[in-house]
Amino acid sequence: MSIRQISVREMQNILKENNYTFVRQCGSHRVWSNGKVSISIPSVKLKSVVANRIIKENHLRIGG
């Protein structure tokens, strides 16, 4: 997987596609959960390295 810039909106769509739901916002971070795991993502600017780490660590599917 090559590192590319992923916007906050794209990351939210990836989380929705993987059955995560928005739980709450605490300051500048949004918390998403699938009932077992919670993921906190920045709500303003998401660095590509952080986005790819979140995707890899949580085994998130991208697209189809």
Reported as a single tens digit per residue, the pLDDT across 22-42 is 999 999 999 999 999 999 999
Global pTM? 0.87
pLDDT category, 11, cuts 50, 70, 90?
very high
pLDDT category, 63, cuts 50, 70, 90?
confident
Residue 17 has pLDDT above 90, yes or no: yes
> Coil, helix or strand for 41?
strand
* 26 bridge partner residues: 29
Residue 64 has pLDDT above 70, yes or no: no
Q: Are 48 and 4 in contact (CB under 8 A)?
A: yes
